[in-house]
Structure 1
Amino acid sequence: MILGILQAESTLHRKIALHIDRQATTESITRMVGRVFHDAGLSQQDVQDILLPLLPPGKLTLVMDRTNWKLGQRSCNLLVLGVLIGNIVLPLAWTELDHSGNSHTSARMMLVGKLLKRLPAKRWAVLIADREFIGREWFAFLKWKGIRRCIRIREDTAVDEDEYVRDCFTSLQPGQLQTLFERAWVYGSWMHVVATLSPQGERIVVASDLSVWDTLATYRQRWGIETTFSAMKTRGLNLEQTHMTAPERVGKLFGLLCIALAWMMRVGEEVEAEQPTRLKKHGRPAKSRTRRGYEVLSRAVRWASESFQTLLELLNTPFSAPEADKTQPVRY
């Protein structure tokens, strides 16, 4: 099924069916594809059994975010927790939300708790999240689990109980960094609060357990999960094309795409090591590692290349350590 998705670059059953070699009609294969998502016993633990051994050694940066799309009037809503590999986040755990809009604190806590059973807190360098993921109970839970936080907060957040964030950084200039002189009391925890103003004039305020100088640099890495969603949705494997809306089936499909994405990333890393991508005038690569990995992998599958077995074996080889990655410009 993964090979069919990679070749079709789509999650539509009828398109996947065209790339599955079976002695049957296209309609019959299409129904078979649908039965896979209905009957297959693919669990998150199965997916993690493949992905966790791929993780590089040492401390890992985790990122949490939510992705959603609509099919007609039905909403598909996934809460995702993944690890930063280079400039992209590899999802490791997810929850299919049965409602639209923001996630509940209980759902976040349960998701983190499940991953902690497979990836202990001593491996977590920090958890990065956007301003949707705030609240006293949530912050207390992460502290209790020994997870360092780097989370954007809203401008109406109260610090030290009697002052709002929007009143603390009124003199900010674009590109300037400001911080409160001492740790502030934010959602029941003493944390550093650091702010900057984006070139578009948007005030970005982050509360963290990190040093003042590391806070914003770390938070900028959150963009990696946006790159992930782009690769899995409209600009890559086209998750949004699926006509499935049942949470359980969407979760199975997402798990398959996570394996496909990891494979693309791992192949892309290998290709990049052998032949680095040329940089454009603005300093960014002409093509992402993940896209390069997809192209090499797709060609090998489509033409039954002798290199396919070598590419398959990369799913048993961990990613290189984070120190080996070069930093690249990141957007807010």
Structure 2
Amino acid sequence: MLSPFYQTILRKHLSESQYLTLELLLLLIQSHHTVRLSTLASVFPQPIKKESRKRNLQRFLVLPQLSIKLLWFPLIKYWIRQIETGKNLNHQQRRKFKRLRRKKRGFWVIAIDRTKWRGRNMFVAVLIWGQHALPLCYEEIGHDGNSNLAQQKRLLRQALSLFKNYPVLVLGDREFHSPKLGQWLDSRGVKFCLRQKKNLHFKTLESTEYEVLSKQGFKPGKSKFYRDILCNKTEGIGHFNLAAYWKRKYRNKAPKDPWYILTNLSNFDLTLKMYRSRWGIEQMFKDTKTSGYNLEDTKVNDIRFRSLFLLVMIAYTFTTIYGQELQSLGISTYAGRVKEVTDKTPRTSDFRFGLYGYAWIFSMDLWADFVLPLLALKSHKRLYFQRGFNALSLMRQAI
């Protein structure tokens, strides 16, 4: 399942039995779409009693080697370096990765957000990739409610350390509205787009007094780009730009609130385009919670939860990239429903393509003794079956 370099990194920190257990768990997570420990123990391929299998997995999940810094960061750094330099990629792969990255105007785009998994308040940083987001790192907040500026800086330091010498842009919703965060990112040479609340006080170069966003009289269909503004009355943080945009009404419906986006980008259209890509992190939360691995179904302690979340990060990233590879090979129709001409959005995401691709390969291998006699009874469809076997062969090669 894993490429030789990934195996080298993992085997560097894990014993052979630990590595094989990790790879089996990744395969089971992909096949059964869950990280619930009791379910994984029920299907874990080891000839011992179920309770013994469960205890075996419990001992494995408390290993100190199952750390993001030890196992995940080296993989991400290698992957980023491979894409940037094109090393070990063929011409088609280089073109595909370049095209995807150019959709974000040459920036590596990091989005930050907060969510809850099984009552745990999690602050997460992800990499926006196409229409999806790939997890980078996270921090568990020890209280309910929003994160503070110190926690935001601490998590972003970890995420930004993975992209040294590369242009980076950070996206954040209204929880991360602090102009101080924007000032900190700007001082590090990082571009940002942070959505603001309507009570932001700002002042343009032409103004002598600070104004409030809520009193600017914006209506649906209106937009404006303020340049060189100062934020916060007492501190005068800036100079930044502010994009105000309220989507127009369509069939008498419009968004409840406009977008107020504080940024150090110089272009209004680019600011909106970048901020729209933030939706990828919401898709990732949905995939890990309910539409993919059902992370909220698991009942484990904090240490085992961190280990399971590491497995989810690895599995989700590989599955999403695998789904993109199936589409580039032109065989995604064998894994899921493709977008029709009349569809505004894809019927199946890259992640689901990858998940269904794994499931189809597993089913074809598991039930081969039943499948082959069935195909023999339908000789008039031999040509279609041959095409399907060719697609199945390409799917196996892409893993």
TM-score bracket for this pair, using the shorter chain length: 0.7 to 0.9
Q: 1:89-100 maps to which residues of 2 (within 5 A)?
A: 89-100=133-144
Deviation, structure 1 residue 295:
1.0
Which of 58, 61, 68 does residue 34 from structure 1 map onto?
58
CA distance in 2, matches of 1:88, 1:15: 27
Shift in alpha-carbon separation, 1:124–1:80, aligned structure 2, 3 A: farther
The structure with more radius of gyration? 2
Q: What amino acid sits opposite 1:184 in the alignment?
A: I
- Deviation track 1:37-93 (CA, whole Å, cap 9, x = no partner) reads 2235211121122233333326311111111134xxxx2011111111110110111
1:17 maps to a residue whose letter is A
1:207 is aligned, of 262, 268, 287, to 262
* Structure 2 unmatched runs, 5+: 1-24, 85-105, 204-208, 248-253, 333-337, 367-391
Look up the equivalent residue of 2:155 and give its one-letter code: L
8 Å CA contact retained: 2:193, 2:262: yes
The answer to whether the 8 Å contact 1:192/1:208 transfers is yes
Unaligned runs of 5+ in 1: 313-332
Alignment match of 1:251 (pick from 275, 282, 306): 306
What displacement does 1:134 show? Answer: 2.5
Q: Which residue does the alignment assign to 1:146? A: 189
Cα offsets for 1:102-123 (capped at 9, x unmatched) = 1121111111112333321x32
Tell me the distance in 2 between the aligned counterparts of 1:151 and 1:102: 15
Query: What is the TM-score with the length of structure 2 in the denominator?
Result: 0.71
Q: CA deviation at 1:177?
A: 2.2
2:231 to 183, 186, 191: 186
Tell me if 1:296 matches 2:383: no
By how many angstroms is 1:300 displaced?
3.1
Corresponding residue of 2:162 = 118
> For the Cα contact (< 8 Å) 2:361–2:396, is it kept in 1?
no
CA distance in 2, matches of 1:4, 1:297: 11
Return the structure number with greater helix share.
Answer: 2
Contact 1:301/1:308 (CA < 8 Å) preserved in 2? Answer: no
Kept in 2, the 8 Å contact 1:51–1:262? The answer is no
Give the drift of 1:231.
1.1
Point out which structure has higher relative CO (alpha carbons under 8 A, 6+ apart).
1
Matched position secondary structure for 1:30: helix
Look up the equivalent residue of 1:289 and give its one-letter code.
Answer: D
What secondary structure is seen at the aligned counterpart in 1 of 2:277? helix
Q: With structure 1 as the length reference, what TM-score do the two structures score?
A: 0.84
| Alignment check: 8 A CA contact 2:326 2:395 kept | no
Instruction: Rate the CA distance shift 1:253–1:102 in 2: closer, same or farther, 3 A.
Output: same
Equivalence for 1:105:
149
Alpha-carbon spacing, 1:179–1:108, altered in 2? closer, same or farther (3 Å): same
Q: Aligned pair in 2 of structure 1 residues 218, 7: CA closer, same or farther (>3 Å)?
A: same
After TM superposition, the structure 1 stretch with the greater mean CA deviation from structure 2, 272-281 or 111-120, is 272-281
Which one is further off, 77-86 or 270-279?
Answer: 270-279
Q: Which one of the candidate residues 325, 339, 343 is aligned to 1:278?
A: 339
SS of the residue corresponding to residue 132 of structure 1 reads helix
Aligned to 1:197: 246
* Contact persistence 2:325–2:398 (CA under 8 A): no
Identify, as 1 or 2, the structure richer in strand.
Answer: 1
Map 1:1-332; keep pairs closer than 5 Å. Answer: 1-45=25-69, 46-55=71-80, 56-57=83-84, 59-70=107-118, 75-120=119-164, 122-160=165-203, 162-168=210-216, 170-174=217-221, 176-180=222-226, 182-186=227-231, 188-198=237-247, 199-210=254-265, 211-246=267-302, 248-275=303-330, 277-279=338-340, 281-301=342-362, 303=365, 310-312=397-399
State the 1:178 CA deviation: 2.1
User: Are the counterparts in 1 of residues 110 and 125 from structure 2 also a CA contact under 8 Å?
Assistant: yes
1:281: how far off? 2.2
Is the contact between residue 123 and residue 141 of structure 2 (CA under 8 Å) also seen in structure 1?
A: yes
